[in-house]
Amino acid sequence: MGGFRYPVEYFSCKDFDKKPEDIQQMLMCMADWGRKLSGPVRGETGIDGVRLDFNNGVRVEVTEGPWHVTIGDYDSGMVFYDADVSEKLIVSMEKYYIHWHIRISYEGNLVFEHVFDMRDQKVRLIFQSWLLGDMQSFLSYVPYVRDYYGADVYYWIPDSMKEAAQHILKDVPLREDFDEDTYATFYFNAGLDIPCLMPIDGRQVPMTQTGQIIMNLPSEAPKLPWPKGERKIKEPYVCIGVQASSVGKGWLYPHGWDEVTEYLKSLGYRVLCIDKEKVMDDRGYRLEMPEGAEDYTGDLPLIERLDMLTYADFFIGLASGLSWLAYTADCPVVMIGGFSAYWTEFPNPYRVYNRLVCNACYNDVRVNWQGNMCPKQQAGTDKIFECSKKISPRMVLDAIERLRRDKGLV
């Protein structure tokens, strides 16, 4: 593997139910991360020719000689790697938190032993997903990791979320570059069908718990408050978002958004559409701003969107990034959608879905959801996207009225 001094040997803590070509693809991906994101192993052990760090899983580098390396889990006593090595870089495939225990012998004598401990160590957290919802689901884990493990944490996040993240995480540094004295690096990722990123498939747990599982934390991270800006719209208003990253997340009931918009206006609300675009065409479906809504679409800074959502009576949207923005801004959400299970995103008593039709394909690990927006139903039939088409306006209006009663808006 180019970029390292010695040949790389990967080991795994668990058996992967994967085809050999899929495992090879994962190995290539891991090697690329190691070169681009972490570089060479720099952690000194006090022993000439032996280096150790945890910046792409556990990484142990030994020079030429009669070395023997044992790597395991300190808590359970399980051993995952136990071999004689020379001029080699040993790297774990697993990149999530494991309480590593490393023992190194020379000519049969134990010369080095280390138990993974982040206390007072520099730790980097990388937001790997570019999806708006994924990034927000991990934000609260940055200070939680710092406080629980006593680590000196810094983080990196994609450009689209940087300003908003810094507004929320004011006391945690965001850094573009890798500090060379970094002890450990972890990747915040949805972990879909990539077993080296999470001990379970990310589709099997709520998104708000993914960071808990990656970082081996005892509980879900507490939600962080959004620092409110200035209210700019005086009248009562509701924000809506009718688009998502794909049509599979949309609400496809004919004229459903128009009915909801007119109902909201009859209650005296201004209805503001805050999608990035006015129209989205995908796979023969057209998702566009309802005719009766006010046009607040556009590629605006997320801080502006968050401040607008802060003062909205509520938000109506899909299982998408805008619903997560509303959640981040403490704005009540009516979420419409059946492609994911009702528990997938953040806790929400106003999730609207039809449990009497095919639904939640996203959470079914038996199907290939990625790249196939309706993996269980055949294209051209009446059942395609029925999880969305069979959500009626009546169901949405019922959720709106429950929310208004609960929040004292009636």
For 105-158, give the DSSP string.
EETTEEEEEEE---TTSEEEEEE----HHHHHHHHTHHHHHHHHHT-EEEEE--
> What is the distance between the alpha carbons of residues 283 and 287, in angstroms, rounded to a whole number?
11
pLDDT at 195: 78
Find out whether 89 and 8 touch, Cβ atoms under 8 Å. Answer: yes
Q: What is the pLDDT of residue 2?
A: 46
Residue 60, strand partner residues: 52, 90
Strand partners, 11: 92
* Contacts (Cβ under 8 Å, ≥6 apart) of 300: none
- The Cα 124–Cα 134 span in angstroms is 18
| Contact (CB, 8 A) for 323 and 347 | no
Q: Which two tokens stand for residue 168?
A: 């929320």
Please give the backbone phi and psi of residue 243, each rounded to the nearest 5 degrees, phi first.
Answer: -120, 160
- Give the relative orientation of helices 141-149 and 132-139 as an angle to the nearest 10 degrees: 30
What is the mean pLDDT of each successive set of 10 residues along the chain, which is 410 residues long?
76 77 69 71 94 95 97 97 97 95 97 98 94 94 98 96 95 94 94 82 94 97 92 96 90 96 98 94 85 95 95 97 96 96 95 96 82 78 92 98 96
Residues that are catalytic: 134
d(CA 351, CA 257): 16
- Strands in 210-360 per DSSP E: 237-240, 270-273, 279-282, 285-288, 294-295, 315-318, 333-336, 351-352
Q: How far apart are CA 390 and CA 360, in angstroms?
A: 14
Collapsing DSSP to helix, strand or coil, 61 comes out as strand
Strand 8-11, strand 285-288: pairing: unpaired
CB 280 within 8 A of CB 287: yes
CA–CA distance, 16 with 18 (Å, rounded to integer):
5
Q: Which domains does the chain have, with CATH numbers?
A: 8-115 (no CATH), 122-215 (no CATH), 237-407 (3.40.50.2000)
Please state, in angstroms and rounded to a whole number, the distance separating the CA atoms of residues 102 and 111. Answer: 11
